[in-house]
């Protein structure tokens, strides 16, 4: 039963890490990874769609496969695919922080001194769980670079990051969005009004393909 659970978790870890790596490559090649996935999913068999993001959170996928990797070593077995997938996933939050930096650079701004709002700190939509959330890792990294970090999450009123920084969820308003140098869509909660966010923000880094309308001020994963 434990192996069944770990196999399912590992299957998702490997496939999400694969699509995250493909998304990073597509970004460099100026190819829309979301359109690629949509087209590939039209195949009637042999392909299951997984979607990229800033990293994998929760208490299962980021952790359980590595318990198995540890046990495997006791049997003289190297689970190299799990190791590689874990490395890709662990680097995603850092790589997404680089995307925020690049987006700000487009507007001749630096992270240092910029006001950056994270939309969602839960590790997946519509829950109040932020365990292993990549948004928290990004918040810490941006704060260390001198950015002013804020967040809005209707499911999580307050949060403390892994490095001990505490934040309270802000209310959304036209004035608040307009006052931010960058808005990062880090969790795609159903309750977010993405049209409102797009209308009143000057720069958006969309890590969840939440905004479908093409816009010069939206920087996609």
How far is CA 113 from its chain centroid?
22
What is the 3-class SS of 88-112, one letter each residue? HHHHHHHHHHHHHHHHHHHCCCCCC
Q: Does 182 participate in catalysis according to the annotation? A: no
22, 60, 91, 172: the active-site residue:
60
Which tokens is 28 given?
């460099």
d(CA 47, CA 86): 22
d(CA 19, CA 24): 9
Which segments of the chain are extended strands (E)?
115-119, 148-152, 158-160, 166-168, 182-185, 204-206, 218-220
How far is CA 140 from its chain centroid?
14
The SS3 assignment for 127 reads: coil
Active site residues: 60
């Amino acid at each position: 039963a434990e192996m069944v659970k770990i196999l399912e978790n590992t299957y998702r870890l490997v496939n999400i890490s694969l699509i995250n790596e493909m998304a990073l490559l597509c970004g460099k090649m100026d190819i829309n990874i979301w359109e690629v996935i949509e087209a590939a999913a039209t195949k009637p068999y042999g392909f299951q769609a997984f979607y990229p993001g800033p990293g994998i959170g929760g208490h299962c996928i980021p952790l359980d496969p590595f318990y198995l990797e540890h046990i495997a070593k006791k049997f003289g077995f190297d689970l190299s695919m799990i190791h590689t997938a874990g490395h890709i996933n662990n680097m995603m939050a850092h790589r997404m922080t680089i995307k925020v930096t690049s987006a700000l650079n487009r507007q001749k701004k630096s992270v240092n001194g910029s006001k950056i709002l994270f939309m969602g700190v839960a590790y997946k939509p519509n829950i109040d769980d932020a365990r292993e959330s990549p948004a928290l890792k990004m918040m810490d990294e941006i704060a260390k670079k001198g950015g002013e970090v804020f967040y809005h999450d209707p499911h999580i009123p307050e949060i403390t990051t892994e490095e001990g920084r505490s934040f309270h969820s802000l209310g959304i308003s036209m004035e608040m969005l307009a006052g931010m140098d960058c808005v990062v869509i880090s969790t795609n909660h159903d309750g977010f009004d993405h049209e409102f966010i797009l209308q009143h923000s000057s720069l958006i880094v969309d890590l969840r393909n939440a905004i479908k309308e093409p816009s010069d001020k939206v920087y996609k994963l």
